[in-house]
Amino acid sequence: MTQILIVGAGVAGMAAAEHLTAAGYAPKLVDKAARPGGRCATRRIAAELDADWFDYGAQYFTVRDEGFRALVDADLQAGRLAHWSPAIASAERVAGTWLLTPSPDDRERLIGPRGLNAWVRQRLQAARLEVATERQVQRIVAEGGRWRIDYADGSAEWADVVVCTPPAVQTAALLGPRAVGIDALAHPEAALAACHSVVVRGPALPERQAIFFKSGRLSWVADNTHKAGRSGDRHLWTLHADAQFSESHIETPTAELADALISEFATATAQRASDMEIVRTHRWRYARPGPGAPDADELCWADTDSGLAIAGDWLAGGRIEGAWLSGREAARRLIAAYALGHSPGRDKPGSSRPG
Ligand SMILES: Cc1cc2nc3c(=O)[nH]c(=O)nc-3n(C[C@H](O)[C@H](O)[C@H](O)COP(=O)(O)OP(=O)(O)OC[C@H]3O[C@@H](n4cnc5c(N)ncnc54)[C@H](O)[C@@H]3O)c2cc1C
């Protein structure tokens, strides 16, 4: 059977694995992190009254594609997803004063009832897809018509087909000289922009559970306690910095950044910064599509001759739905090629078909 290795168990890796499995293949998923999910990042905190989890990466997602709609409907039915309808405001600094305006919309927002990371892990579990975690790939090398995967711990394994889903810079590093000439990897450092994230325990805001910032250092703040369906005086707020602020402070110590973001949140919402206690800081080096993201219509890059595919949100316009569409498209292209009896690589023993 064709041995397929998927590097990265975020949404793109999950989608690729689910589709390859449905077509009869048995892909292997590896991830360098301790848990699957990638930027669907949730942290649990024990015995909190206000909320016992918070999302500090992706916050919620939306749906446009019909295939993704079907998955979402099934997951809503199974309790793996839930709707979130926060009271949203927009914040703008005008002539030195912050103006907060209600900004209601009728957009459908989806969250994991126990965080977005739990959604990914529950889907992987339901599809019986195991992920080898804490397996950091260091290099992917073409050798004798197959792929040799070198791990950071010095071990290696072989595969006929590799699907690479880490952010562009990391994928380019894994492929080394093989990355040269791949259009999608022409400007990897500009494919995804940074985002600093801070989670604080602070006061609940009446009538406001999420704020889009139109100016200043922040881009978005959200009340995790509301997401979790809880209430109380102290809520867990995720604060995300604006892309420009994040990029221009890429070397600034996270403690300094946290102070700057908390102070802006407090001023904009007429709270006291001293009432906010830092729960977590995280620097996302590659968060959301940057100025050099490839054309989103491509969805993925695949070379079925050599058995190499590249997928990830950065190839599909960003966002969770983009990551899923990209992973599905990579799987579809591989499946279509191999169903026609096309073999990846040269001189490779065994059939390219499943079974
Ligand atoms: C702060 C922030 C806010 C966001 N907000 C939203 C939002 O509200 N809505 C929305 O739709 N999207 C949002 N996004 C984007 C969303 O999180 C991503 O689009 C999506 O999760 C990307 O999935 P992916 O599988 O393409 O990549 P990732 O989730 O990055 O998955 C890649 C995986 O590869 C693994 N990996 C990397 N290198 C190696 C290696 N060498 N060896 C093994 N494994 C490796 C990583 O550990 C990771 O698990 C946000 C992202 C961030 C960071």
pLDDT tens by residue, 41-65: 999 987 666 778 999 999 999 999 9
Q: How confident is the model at residue 354 (pLDDT cuts 50, 70, 90)?
A: very low
Residue 172 is part of a domain; what is its CATH number? 3.50.50.60
Q: Is the pLDDT of residue 250 over 80?
A: yes
Spell 72-95 as b/e; 16+ CB within 10 A means b.
Answer: beebeeeebbbebebbbbebeeee
Note whether residue 300 is domain-resident: yes
Q: Which residue has the higher pLDDT, 353 or 322?
A: 322
Of 234, 268, 289, the residue that ends a domain is 289
- pLDDT for res 51: 77
Q: Is 185 in the pocket of ligand 1 (CB under 6 A)?
A: no
Of 274, 289, 304, the residue that ends a domain is 289
Q: Is 5 in the pocket of ligand 1 (CB under 6 A)?
A: no
Residue 86 is part of a domain; what is its CATH number? 3.90.660.10
- Residue 164: give the domain boundaries: 1-34+133-187+294-355
Note whether residue 126 is domain-resident: no
Of 270, 289, 308, the residue that ends a domain is 289
How does pLDDT run across 140-189, given as a tens digit for each residue?
A: 999 999 999 999 999 999 999 999 999 999 999 999 999 999 999 999 99
- pLDDT for res 338: 87
Residue 164 phi/psi, 5-degree rounding, is -100, 120
Who's near 329: CB < 8 A, 6+ residues apart? 299, 300, 311, 316
How does pLDDT run across 70-97, given as a tens digit for each residue?
A: 999 999 999 999 999 999 999 999 999 9
Q: Is 10 in the pocket of ligand 1 (CB under 6 A)?
A: yes
Q: Are residues 87 and 183 in the same domain?
A: no
Interval 298-311 mean pLDDT = 96
Residue of 19, 32, 39 best suited for mutating to test ligand 1, as the one with most atoms within 8 Å of CB: 39
Q: Is 40 in the pocket of ligand 1 (CB under 6 A)?
A: yes
Q: Is 296 in the pocket of ligand 1 (CB under 6 A)?
A: no
Note whether residue 311 is domain-resident: yes
Q: Are residues 182 and 198 in the same domain?
A: no
Query: Which residue has a Cα nearest atom 4 of ligand 1?
Result: 58
Q: Are residues 205 and 285 in the same domain?
A: yes
Instruction: From 86, 325, 303, 115, select the one nearest 211 (Cα to Cα).
Output: 86
Ligand 1 centroid to 69 CA: how many Å? 20
Q: In whole numbers, what is the pLDDT of the chain averaged over residues?
A: 94
- pLDDT for res 49: 63
Task: Check if the beta carbon of residue 3 is closer than 8 Å to that of residue 159.
Answer: yes
Note whether residue 49 is domain-resident: yes
Structural domain count, the chain: 2
How does pLDDT run across 309-345, given as a tens digit for each residue?
A: 999 999 999 999 999 999 999 999 999 998 767 667 5
Q: How confident is the model at residue 353 (pLDDT cuts 50, 70, 90)?
A: very low
Q: Is 317 in the pocket of ligand 1 (CB under 6 A)?
A: no
Ligand 1 centroid to 287 CA: how many Å? 7
State which amino acid sits at residue 338: Y
Task: Check if the beta carbon of residue 85 is closer than 8 Å to that of residue 111.
Answer: no
Q: Are residues 176 and 230 in the same domain?
A: no
- pLDDT for res 343: 67
- pLDDT for res 345: 56
Which has the minimum average pLDDT: 23-27, 133-137, 337-341?
337-341
Q: Are residues 111 and 207 in the same domain?
A: yes
Spell 37-57 as b/e; 16+ CB within 10 A means b.
Answer: bbbbbbbeeeebebbbbbbbb
